[in-house]
């Protein structure tokens, strides 16, 4: 049954490929990140690397600082020390110098542990918020309504495509607070994809899902990384579910990362 679904998704992904540009970035490098909360050193010396198409599993005990690391990499917290760079088309972007709302456009975006869909909007509108659109400038919205509409059509197509890839096209009209947990996560991932970011940080995407849904999502994520060349850093407490698709395991223990290279991702390919 799972296999069937896989095949199904693969074809969907392949049809989508025409629209999706291959990834433009070449490397994410994180080094020596340190951060403490009120004297409590949560991250001591954290480093990791990801290449396009790779999946990193970030694991560790509850409270070991996984979310905190994602907060740093998505610009929501500034660490006390360390570097994080995104090397992209020959340029080096200093992640720690950027504002959180600028990073998605530069290529790095995150999924929240508590999902955070916009609850007054439909799934499609949720995804559309993530599109860098000319109509976000109020003057263009007023004075060039036609141009904005035209671009909007393209963006809607793109959004529906991402929803389709995440298997949520049928729910595109549902309001954000009417979706089940699993559906909401998939919509949130589609929203993440719409940002155009090439490095996706996913905070516990499997939490709260049952076995079947969990397997399905892991498979979809694996395919996504392969087909689109996006790099995924997936936080997951229960490492066994992600290991099949992961290239690296990063385990956070006492503020330091233990890296394990995993060889068994050929299963998926």
Residues interacting with Mg ion, by CB under 5 A? 67
The CB-of-202 to Mg ion minimum distance in angstroms stands at 11
Among 228, 244, 268, smallest CA distance to 13 is for 228
Indicate which of another protein, Mg ion, ligand ADP, none lies near residue 74 (CB less than 5 to 8 Å, by partner kind): another protein
Structure tokens at 225: 């990384």
The CB-of-54 to another protein minimum distance in angstroms stands at 22
The rounded distance, in Å, linking the Cα atoms of 97 and 85 is 10
The rounded distance, in Å, linking the Cα atoms of 182 and 133 is 28
Angle of the 2-17 helix axis to the 145-165 helix axis, nearest 10: 150
Indicate which of another protein, ligand ADP, Mg ion, none lies near residue 62 (CB less than 5 to 8 Å, by partner kind): ligand ADP
Q: How many CB atoms lie within 10 A of CB 112?
A: 16
The CB-of-110 to ligand ADP minimum distance in angstroms stands at 12
Indicate which of Mg ion, another protein, ligand ADP, none lies near residue 63 (CB less than 5 to 8 Å, by partner kind): ligand ADP
Indicate which of another protein, Mg ion, ligand ADP, none lies near residue 141 (CB less than 5 to 8 Å, by partner kind): another protein
Residue bearing tokens 């972007």? 93
Q: Which stretch binds another protein (CB under 8 A): 9-17, 56-64, 134-142, 245-253?
A: 134-142
The CB-of-40 to another protein minimum distance in angstroms stands at 11
Q: Which is nearer to another protein, 112 or 213 (CB)?
A: 112
The rounded distance, in Å, linking the Cα atoms of 121 and 194 is 16
Indicate which of Mg ion, ligand ADP, another protein, none lies near residue 152 (CB less than 5 to 8 Å, by partner kind): another protein
**In this chain, which of 54, 59, 64, 71 binds another protein, going by CB under 8 A?**
71
The rounded distance, in Å, linking the Cα atoms of 76 and 157 is 30
Q: Is 113 in the site for another protein (CB under 8 A)?
A: no
Q: Is 74 in the site for another protein (CB under 8 A)?
A: yes
C-alpha torsion angle, residues 28, 254, 217, 182 (rounded to 10)? -120
**In this chain, which of 65, 125, 163, 231 binds another protein, going by CB under 8 A?**
125
10 Å CB burial of residue 162 (0-12, 13-18, 19+) is: buried
Q: Is 254 in the site for another protein (CB under 8 A)?
A: no
Pairing of strands 256-261, 248-253: antiparallel
Q: Which is nearer to ligand ADP, 66 or 110 (CB)?
A: 66
**In this chain, which of 10, 148, 160, 207 binds another protein, going by CB under 8 A?**
148
Mapping DSSP to helix (H, G, I), strand (E, B) and coil, where does residue 105 land? Answer: helix
The rounded distance, in Å, linking the Cα atoms of 234 and 111 is 9
Q: Is 96 in the site for another protein (CB under 8 A)?
A: no
Structure tokens at 106: 């530069």
| Residue numbers at the binding site for another protein (CB under 8 A) | 37-38, 71, 74, 76-77, 99-105, 109-110, 112, 116-121, 125, 128-138, 141-142, 145, 148, 152, 191-192, 194-195
């Amino acid at each position: 049954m799972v296999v069937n679904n896989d095949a199904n998704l693969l074809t969907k992904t392949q049809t989508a490929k025409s629209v999706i540009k291959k990834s433009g970035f070449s490397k994410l490098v994180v080094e020596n990140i340190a951060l403490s909360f009120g004297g409590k050193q949560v991250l001591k010396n954290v480093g990791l690397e990801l290449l396009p198409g790779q999946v990193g599993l970030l694991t560790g005990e509850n409270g070991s600082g996984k979310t905190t690391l994602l907060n740093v990499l998505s610009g929501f917290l500034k660490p006390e020390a360390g570097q994080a760079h995104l090397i992209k088309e020959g340029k080096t972007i200093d992640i720690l110098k950027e504002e959180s709302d600028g990073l998605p456009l530069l290529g790095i975006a995150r999924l929240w542990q508590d999902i955070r869909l916009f609850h007054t909007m439909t799934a499609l509108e949720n995804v559309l918020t993530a599109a860098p659109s000319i109509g976000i400038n109020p003057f263009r919205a007023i004075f060039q309504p036609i141009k904005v509409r035209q671009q909007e059509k393209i963006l809607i197509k793109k959004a529906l495509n991402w929803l389709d890839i995440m298997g949520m096209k049928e729910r595109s009209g549902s309001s954000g607070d009417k979706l089940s947990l699993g559906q909401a996560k998939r919509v949130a991932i589609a929203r993440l994809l719409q940002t155009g970011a090439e490095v996706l940080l996913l905070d516990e995407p499997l939490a709260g899902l049952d076995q079947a849904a969990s397997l399905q999502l892991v498979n979809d994520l694996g395919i996504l990384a392969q087909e689109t060349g996006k790099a995924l850093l997936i936080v997951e407490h229960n490492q066994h579910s992600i290991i099949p698709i992961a290239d690296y395991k990063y385990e956070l223990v006492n503020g330091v990362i233990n890296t394990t290279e995993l060889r068994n991702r050929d299963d998926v390919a």
